[in-house]
Amino acid sequence: MTIPILLLVVGFVALILGANWLVDGATSVGIRAKLSPLIIGLTIVAFGTSLPELIINVFSCVKGNSGLAIGNIVGSNIMNILLILGVASIIYPIDVSRISIRRDIPAGFVATTALFLMANNFFTGGNNTINWIEGLVLLLLACAYLYLTMVKNESPSSEVEAIQIPMPWGKTILLLILGIIGLYAGGELVSNNAQTIAKAWGMSDAMIGLTVVAMATSLPELITSIVAATKKNSGIAIGNVLGSNILNICVVLGISGLITPLQFDAQMNKTLFFLFGANALMLLFVFTGKGRKLSRFEGFLMLLAYSGFMAYTVMTR
């Protein structure tokens, strides 16, 4: 088991480096396009930090291991809200913009509800799977959300320029290429060795996707939000998480469903309820306390909630 574990670690490192390089390059492009911090966080950064989930899901689905796909996304989204936003708000309280409350947080509820209904065959009946038609619907929802996001671009260009000066085009293109290579290599290593370890430890594909793989693929979001919080950039910090969660469901599961029907274990409904609860808790905290923000104390409570979720998951696996 030593070699698969080492290769898994190497794969995670490659995913994180690849995602960081790709995000840096893509963010430079976004700054040149005079996009706001929130828009960059919701689109470019969120898509970049969702790439590890996408790469692993695509590799797993191509190899016939679709059971890992839904667990990976649900586990990642719960971690994004409770752990990542919790840590970021402890570092620096996160201001939540009015547009995020009106558009991005409700969009997260809509995406989670769509996943719940599709996985439980509310629309089609039959086996608990997400098929190619439902995958296409998820991708259309992603297109609608991205359209609304770009239409509601609210930020002045001066705010963008104050955050970062775009890199030279040569360096930008190099980082984009290195990022794609790192994500491909990391996805291959993680996909292969996660299955090996899961079978050796007697864990189901869904369980290892929900825990080990979900935590690892959420590392880019964690790093990005921590860096944004230390720079007191609330737009990137919360935009990264909200956008990533929506894209995880609509784009990553949408593409995965086009490749192969995604098997859904009915026991996973309990975890989906945790995800609904995490979204509701975030919304509650936004409207409590002073102003529309996540305070340090609320961040601490979110970390406690995530600890409870992980303890429940391990004890009931």
Closest CA to 145 of 238, 43, 55, 227: 43
- Quote the pLDDT of residue 256: 93
In this predicted structure, the answer to whether residue 163 has a pLDDT above a threshold of 60 is no
Q: Please give the C-alpha separations between residue 89 and each of 112, 228, 234, 243, in angstroms, as whole numbers.
A: 23, 10, 9, 17
- Quote the pLDDT of residue 250: 95
- Quote the pLDDT of residue 159: 41
CB 213 within 8 Å of CB 65 = no
Domain range holding 192? 2-315
| Token duo for residue 259 | 């490749």
Non-local CB neighbours of 116 within 8 Å, separated by 6+ positions: 269, 272, 276
- Quote the pLDDT of residue 161: 40
pLDDT digits (tens, 9 = 90+) for 176-203: 888 878 877 877 787 678 768 777 877 7
**Tally of domains in the chain:** 1
pLDDT digits (tens, 9 = 90+) for 53-90: 888 888 888 877 777 788 889 989 999 999 999 999 99
- Quote the pLDDT of residue 96: 86
In this predicted structure, the answer to whether residue 162 has a pLDDT above a threshold of 60 is no
CB 210 within 8 Å of CB 56 = no
Region label for 125, one of left (φ > 0), alpha (ψ between -120 and 50) or beta (otherwise) = left
Q: State which amino acid sits at residue 106.
A: P
- Quote the pLDDT of residue 265: 82
Q: Does residue 154 or residue 49 have the better pLDDT?
A: 49
Half-sphere exposure of 43 (CA within 13 A, CB side): 24
Non-local CB neighbours of 163 within 8 Å, separated by 6+ positions: 31, 37, 231, 233, 236
Tell me, what CATH number does 185's domain have? 1.20.1420.30
Confidence tier at 157 by pLDDT (50, 70, 90): very low
Three-state DSSP at 129 gives strand
Half-sphere exposure of 111 (CA within 13 A, CB side): 33
Mean pLDDT of 31-48: 73
CB 96 within 8 Å of CB 293 = yes
Listed range (97-106, 146-155, 273-282) with the worst mean pLDDT: 146-155
In this predicted structure, the answer to whether residue 16 has a pLDDT above a threshold of 70 is yes
Backbone angles phi, psi at 198, to 5 degrees: -60, -45
What is the rounded distance in angstroms from the CA atom of residue 97 to the CA atom of residue 213?
31
- Quote the pLDDT of residue 50: 79
CB 37 within 8 Å of CB 233 = yes
- Quote the pLDDT of residue 46: 75
pTM: 0.78
Three-state DSSP at 262 gives strand
Buried b / exposed e over 26-64, threshold 16 CB at 10 Å, is bbbbbbeeebbbbbbbbbbbbbbbbbbbbbbbbbbbeee
